[in-house]
Structure 1
Amino acid sequence: MFDIFPGFSFLNQIINKKAVKAKDREKESHLKDNNHFLTTVFKGVAKPIEVGIKRIVSLLAKEYGIYIYTGSYILKEKEEIYNTGSLFGPEGNLIGTQKKMHLTDFEVKIGIKRASKMEVYSLPFGKVVCPICMDATYFETFRIAREIGADMVILPIANLEEYTMWKALR
């Protein structure tokens, strides 16, 4: 039918494209508003994951008589969730837990809360801090670490990019 009237076919294509874009925006909007679902999931799985990670790392630290930093995991405190990491000693003891200070946009959207403090841990060989992921991409983190007495920084960072020295030095 649209081929019978000149220009209608073109007009139909434009309208269809607009309709598809509107549906795509609606889907994206629905996904963006679906952060409550992700927050609920993370809150639900946080405790068992935390318990499992801490138990396994504690046993490994004790078995091998070494310090182990967990890397990050979701911690639930009351009704808040945090991206955290924990440091264990050679006896399997929990030395401390650091919460992430610099969040990604995704972490903010799903309700992860920001820490306001960097923890420093005294070990027999010096004081250490354990910034989490993006925390280590800011020069201020290292300046603050030095100001609070840290001698070393433990950096367990996962990055999907190929390693380059220049990016690591940023």
Structure 2
Amino acid sequence: MAAHAKAKPAKPPKPTGGANQVQGTSGKVGDMLFTGQWRFQVTGFQQVNSYTLKVPASEQDYAKWHSDAEYDDASHTFTPKEGITLIAVDCYVKNGQPKTTEQLDGYSDDPKTALTDDHSNSYPPIAYDMVSRGAWVTKPLLPGSGEKITLLFAVESGTTPKDLVVTLKNWSLHKGKEVRVSLAP
């Protein structure tokens, strides 16, 4: 009686997306993450003494920043209040949905977008600097098109950033998935 060799299962094909793309929803600065709907990349971050909007017309929500920063309408600049430091996180988001023009929504429902620190604290964003169509909602993005976004966070002075968690969701569906980007050196 001859023994039959078991066939090895075929490896699943690698998804398209380009070099250096991380499959899944966790990565580090520079990695392109994909949720199945949105591609997301943190391109850099820095602590700043003040922050001037690159897109002065981007709509902001007073309730999100008024307790941590002052905002000058004339110069479109945020300045932190005493005991607060601003951290600006530069990102790139791209519509990965093949047939849908969509808006990325950072505002409604239950977004979990926050900067975490090395002591397990989390800080929600106080501003989204981007071409917007409403407070914290991108302009409509065609399939494959993208948008540069800077997320501005107000944190306690002396905070050491650890991770950025961002909820990526369609404005029209009001549900999404989170990505986590390590900000550690």
TM superposition score category, shorter chain reference: under 0.3
- Greater relative contact order: 1 or 2 (C-alpha under 8 angstroms, separation 6 or more)? 2
Q: Which has the higher strand share?
A: 2
Bigger radius of gyration: 1
Please, what TM-score do these two structures have when normalized by structure 1?
0.24
Q: Which has the higher helix share?
A: 1
